[in-house]
Amino acid sequence: MSDPKLQEYMDQTVTSFSEAQNEIADALSRIFSELGGDASVQRVQLLALRRYVIKGGHGVAEAWPWNAEQARQHKADTEKMNAAAKQTMKNFHDQNPELRLGRSQVRDLPRQVHLWCSNDKVRKASAHLLPRAFKELSKVELYPEIPTDAGPINAFKNFLRHYMPVPEVTSAAPGTSDHGQDRAVDFVVIQGAKTLAGTSKDRIPTDWQATGYDKALKKATKDTGLDGPLQHPHEPWHYWLKKEDPEKAGAAPH
């Protein structure tokens, strides 16, 4: 059962976004539907809301998964990503004939919601966050039952912004993953029908580093147009398309 005061602050936090408000509300609604009557619904939503607060409305809007029309508009970028991933997979197999790479595909919003809700670290971190949110909201001098101005909401957003998840969450909050716009790709190492190195952060030391697969994958991406791997959080399987040199591309540097 959700806590009424916490829900009030969560709802008003959502409406405080001047951009991406509808998208954030949609993602939280989908989390509710995904988890059904599970007691963890509110806290899992709260942990996602923390990420939206940190990213900001514009950042959320920029990262939001493409719809069919947007995907068509960015077809050239998608084709570059697919070509780079395909070349990496070929290079890896040529360099390691007994192995092959599998790759992730575009993750639409429903898929991102499912991954978020089924992630064990999300469950644990949200359980760590919830009592701290209750403790924060118990400061009655800061947080009235029903906030009537922006002050309490800004204070609550500041609390969320500075909360550090325990444990570290490795799954992107729904709608914020680079995979939603086909800007990133995850690789896994396969032998026959068995995945030897997957995307479990806990198994990086044994499955990626001890085996040297992290270095082998990096070598396979050479001259393909891919950059990586992701360092924060460390994901040896996560690569993305290199940005063109602004001067060569004819665009103004940012």
- SS3 of the chain: CCCHHHHHHHHHHHHCCCCCHHHHHHHHHHHHHHHCCCCCHHHHHHHHHHHHHHHHHHHHHHHCCCCHHHHHHCHHHHHHHHHHHHHHHHHHHHHCCCCEEEECCCCCHHHHHHHHHHCHHHHHHHHHHHHHHHHHHCCCCCCCCCCCCHHHHHHHHHHHHHCCCCCCCCCCCCCCCHHHHCCEEEEEEEECCEEEECCCHHHHHHHHHCCCHHHHHHHHCCCCCEECCEECCEECCEEEECCCCHHHHCCCCC
Tell me the domain boundaries of the chain: 4-64+109-162, 74-105+183-249
Parallel, antiparallel, or unpaired: how do β-strands 184-191 and 100-103 relate? antiparallel
The mean of the pLDDT values for the chain is 92
Confidence (pTM)? 0.82
Q: In this predicted structure, what is the pLDDT of residue 250? A: 30
Which tens digits make up the pLDDT trace of 187-245?
999 999 999 999 998 999 999 999 999 999 999 999 999 999 999 889 999 999 887 54
What pLDDT is recorded for position 68?
Answer: 81
Token digits for 88?
């990496």
Q: What is the predicted pLDDT for the residue at 252?
A: 27
- At 245 the pLDDT is 41
Report residue 96: phi and psi, to 5°.
-140, 75
The 10s digit of each residue's pLDDT in 13-71 is 999 999 999 999 999 999 999 998 799 999 999 999 999 999 999 999 999 998 888 88
- pLDDT score, position 248: 32
Read off the pLDDT of residues 76-90 as tens digits, 9 standing for 90 and up.
Answer: 888 999 999 999 999
The CA–CA distances, whole Å, from 47 to 80, 81, 191 equal 34, 31, 36
pLDDT at 74 (0 to 100): 87
Both tokens of 96, joined, read 């390691």
**Percentage above 90 pLDDT, the chain:** 80
pLDDT score at 215:
98
